[in-house]
Structure formats: structure tokens, C-alpha cells
């Protein structure tokens, strides 16, 4: 019997519908991947593999040296936040907005 969006379990639904590799191949909008090279959950090699699958022509990857998965070091966290704000400001302000 199918329960979740045509899948037998929530786990099979999540692994199919929200598979990073599958989603990356569909991304065509600006894409920014920022991660730490001390991430014990996801190795740095995986970030590059995922990044290479993204179809967007406007994409950027940055690896913060020494940062872990959750950016628990306050300096790493602030650096990540600054980079994200810069990315969004550049992308959002590049849209033709009349003020």
C-alpha cells in the first residue's frame, strides 16, 4: 500500500524526492554552496561532487577552512553569515527592482 506521495514509507519518499543528487541536476537558478572542511557529516569531496552536478551556470562554492557542519566556531559562523548576506544582496539587487 502507498502512503506518502505514492511511497510506502516516509523514508523512501524523502530519499527519492529530496535526493541531493537528483535535485542538483534540476537547479538552474543562482546557487551558492558554502561549507566547512571539518564537516564530519559530509566530506569535502561530496560538496564538490554535488556542486559539479548543479546545472546552474551561475554557481559558486566556498569551503571555509576549519569550519564544521554547524559552524559552531563563532568566527566561522560570522564569516559564513557575511558570505551568505553578500551572495543574497548581489543576487537580489541584480534583479531589476524599481524603488
Domain ranges for the chain, please list them: 27-93
C-alpha closest to that of 57 among 33, 31, 26, 89: 31
CA angle 27, 32, 37 (to 5 degrees): 120
Residue 79's pLDDT is 97
**pLDDT for res 34:** 95
pTM: 0.71
Q: Is the pLDDT of residue 4 over 80?
A: no
Question: What does the pLDDT look like over 39-63, one tens digit per residue?
Answer: 998 888 988 998 999 999 999 999 9
Nearest to 27 by CA among 54, 47, 61: 54
Amino acid at each position: 500500500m502507498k502512503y506518502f506521495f505514492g511511497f510506502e514509507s516516509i523514508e523512501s519518499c524523502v530519499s527519492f524526492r529530496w535526493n541531493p543528487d537528483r535535485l542538483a541536476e534540476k537547479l538552474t537558478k543562482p546557487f551558492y554552496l558554502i561549507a566547512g572542511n571539518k564537516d564530519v557529516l559530509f566530506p569535502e569531496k561530496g560538496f564538490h561532487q554535488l556542486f559539479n552536478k548543479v546545472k546552474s551556470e551561475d554557481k559558486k562554492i566556498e569551503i571555509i577552512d576549519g569550519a564544521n557542519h554547524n559552524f559552531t566556531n563563532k568566527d566561522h559562523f560570522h564569516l559564513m553569515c557575511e558570505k551568505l548576506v553578500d551572495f543574497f544582496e548581489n543576487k537580489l539587487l541584480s534583479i531589476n527592482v524599481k524603488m
